[in-house]
Amino acid sequence: MAPRSEAPILVNYLGNPDVNLYLPCKAGKLGQELDSNTITITRVIRPEELSMLEGMTVNMDELNFLAQAMTRFDQNAEAQFLAAASLAENADVKDLINISLNTSHYTVINSFCDLAGAGKQHLKNLGVQTSAMEHEEFVEAGKKLLISGRGIPTSRGLLFENEEVPFETLYDGSHLPWYRCRNDIMAGIQIRYGGGTEYLYLPEESFAIDRALERLGCPVLADCSVEFDVYVFNTEKWKERLDSILEKEGLYGANRLAEALSRHWMNQDKLLSVAEFAQAEGSEGIKKLADHFDDFMVLDHARTAVDVAKHFVAHEDGYRVDGYARGFVDFQRMGESIITEHEGQFVGDGFVCMEKGKSLEQIMEVSNPEMELTM
C-alpha cells in the first residue's frame, strides 16, 4: 500500500520486512490488499507503544478503527492514549480501542517547566470550564497533580489516572461504536439484525456496507433494520430529505446523497436551493446537481427582479453599467429579461438560475453509471 505520512499506525506483517501496512486505510483498499480480514503482526513500526500487538493475529476492522480514532487526536490526547497504552502490556486491539475512547480518563505531564499547561489540560480532562480561570489557578492545579505521587513514568511523561472521569467500556468486542473518525461524515446510521448492531458513517464505501452485513451475519440488507441516529449537519431540510431517501431508496440511496453533501467545497445551503429549483427529490438527481454545481448561479437574498438585475450589473460581464448610466437603467425589465434568459426562479430566500450556455434539462438527462453499479 502507498505510504501516508500522516498514518498514525504502521505495521509489518507476513514476516516480510517489505510488506508494511499504513493505517487508517479505506475499507475497499484493505479488501483489495488482504486475503482475509485478519493479519498477524510481525512488527509495530509506529507507534512503539503498541508493540504488545506484535505476534498477535488482529481483526482489520478493529485495527483500522483504532487508527481512525488516532487521526482525531490532538497532541494532548495522543500523549494520554499512548502513555496509557504503553502500560497495558497484555492489551489487545479491543482494549486499545476502549483506551482511545477514554483519553480524558488520563492526564500526562511531560514538562515540569509548564505546570500551568499541565494543570489546564488536567482540568479540561475533568470537564472543568477553564475560560475564566487565571494562570495561577492552572499552576496550582498542575502542582497539586504533580505532588500527589500518583504519576507513573512512561515514554510520554508522567501518567495520572483521573478517577473522577469514569472509564467506559464503549466497545464490546463485537460491534464497533459510534465515533466521528472522519471529517466528511454527514450522518451516523445503525444497522440491526439478529440482536446485533453495526454503525456506519455516511458516506461509506459499498465494501464497508457489505462488511457490516457480514459482521452481523445478515444475508441481505433488506432483512436489516436501518435508521439514522446521528446527523452531523444542522439543516433540518437535509435531515428530512435524508430520511425520505432512506425510506424510498434504501441505504445505498442515502449513501449517495451523503456523498454529494460531504464534498469539501460543497455549500449545502446553496445545493438545497439548487435542488428546490430543479425539483430534485431523489438521490440520483441531487448527485447530478452536485456534479454540475458550477453550472448554477445562486443569489442569496435576491427576492425581486430588480435585485437580480442589480447583481448582474455589478458582477457579471456583459451586463456591467457605469455608475452614471445606472440612473437610466430599467432594472425591473432587465431583471425580468435575465430571469427568462437564464431559466431563473426565486427559491426560498434567494434566486437560482443557470450559468450562461448551461441547461437544466441537459444536466438532469446525463446518465449516471455509478447509480447503476451501486443499486
Q: Are residues 24 and 152 in the same domain?
A: yes
Q: Burial of 329 by CB count in 10 Å (0-12 exposed, 13-18 middle, 19+ buried)?
A: middle
Q: What is the pLDDT at residue 265?
A: 86
Q: Are residues 147 and 288 in the same domain?
A: no
% residues pLDDT > 70 (the chain): 94
pLDDT of residue 49: 95
Domain-embedded: residue 170: no
Q: Which helix (H) or strand (E) holds 225?
A: strand 225-231
pLDDT at 105 exceeding the cut of 50: yes
Three cell numbers written together for 315: 458582477
**Cα R_g (the chain), whole angstroms:** 27
In the predicted model, is pLDDT for residue 375 greater than 60?
A: no
Give yes or no for a contact between 253 and 245, defined as CB atoms under 8 angstroms apart.
yes
Question: Is residue 168 in a domain?
Answer: no
Please state, as a whole number, how many other Cβ atoms lie within 10 Å of the Cβ of residue 184.
14
Do the domain assignments include residue 343?
Answer: yes
Closest CA to 258 of 273, 270, 276, 246: 246
Residue 179 pLDDT: 76
Query: What's the confidence (pLDDT) of residue 28?
Result: 83
- Is residue 327 classed as helix, strand or coil in its secondary structure? helix
Global pTM value: 0.74
Mean pLDDT for 199-227 is 90
Q: How many CA atoms lie within 13 A of 342 on its CB side?
A: 26
Q: Where are the alpha helices (DSSP H) in the chain?
A: 27-33, 60-71, 75-87, 93-100, 115-125, 135-146, 206-216, 236-249, 251-262, 268-278, 283-291, 305-315, 331-341, 360-365, 369-374
Query: Same structural domain for residues 149 and 280?
Result: no
CA 339/CA 350 separation, integer angstroms: 13
Flag whether 202 is in a domain: no
**Bridge partners, residue 183, by sequence:** none
Mean pLDDT of all residues in the chain? Answer: 89
Three-state secondary-structure class, residue 153: strand
At 3 the pLDDT is: 40
> pLDDT tens digits, residue range 45-91?
999 999 999 999 999 999 999 999 999 899 999 999 999 999 998 89
Is 199 a member of any domain? no
Residue that finishes a domain, picked among 111, 138, 161: 161
Give pLDDT, residue 5: 46
Split into its structural domains, the chain has a count of: 2
Is residue 369 pLDDT above 50, yes or no? Answer: no
Q: How does DSSP classify residue 292? A: T
Q: Which of 161, 191, 225 is the last residue before a domain boundary?
A: 161
- Parent domain of 90: 9-161
Cell 437544466 identifies what position?
360
pLDDT value of residue 199: 87
What integer is the mean pLDDT of 337-341? Answer: 94
Residue type, 78: E
CA atoms within 13 A on the CB side of 301: 0
Report the pLDDT value the prediction gives residue 371, as an integer from 0 to 100.
42
The answer as to whether 1 is a domain residue is no
Residues 138 and 279 in one domain: no
Q: Which grid coordinates belong to 373?
A: 453499479
Q: Is residue 3 situated within a structural domain?
A: no
Residue with cell 460581464: 317
* Cα dihedral: 96, 97, 100, 104 (round 10): -100
Whole-number Å distance between alpha carbons of 248 and 255: 13
Rounded CA gap, 189 and 194, in Å? 17
- Going by the DSSP 8-state scheme, the letter that residue 47 receives in this structure is -
Out of 6-15, 281-290, 364-373, give the one with best mean pLDDT. 281-290
pLDDT tens across 242-280, in order? 999 999 999 999 999 999 999 988 999 999 999 999 999
Do 30 and 157 fall within a single domain?
yes
Q: What is the pLDDT of residues 145-198, one digit of tens each?
A: 999 999 999 999 999 999 999 999 999 888 888 777 777 889 999 999 998 888
User: Of the residues 114, 138, 161, which one is the last residue of a structural domain?
Assistant: 161
Establish if 261 belongs to a structural domain. no
The pLDDT of residue 374 is above 70: no
**Environment class of 192 (CB within 10 Å of its CB; exposed 0-12, middle 13-18, buried 19+):** middle
Residues 144 and 281 in one domain: no
Q: How far is CA 321 from CA 170, 242, 309, 332, 333, in A?
A: 64, 44, 11, 15, 15
- Written as nine digits, the cell of 199 is 454503525
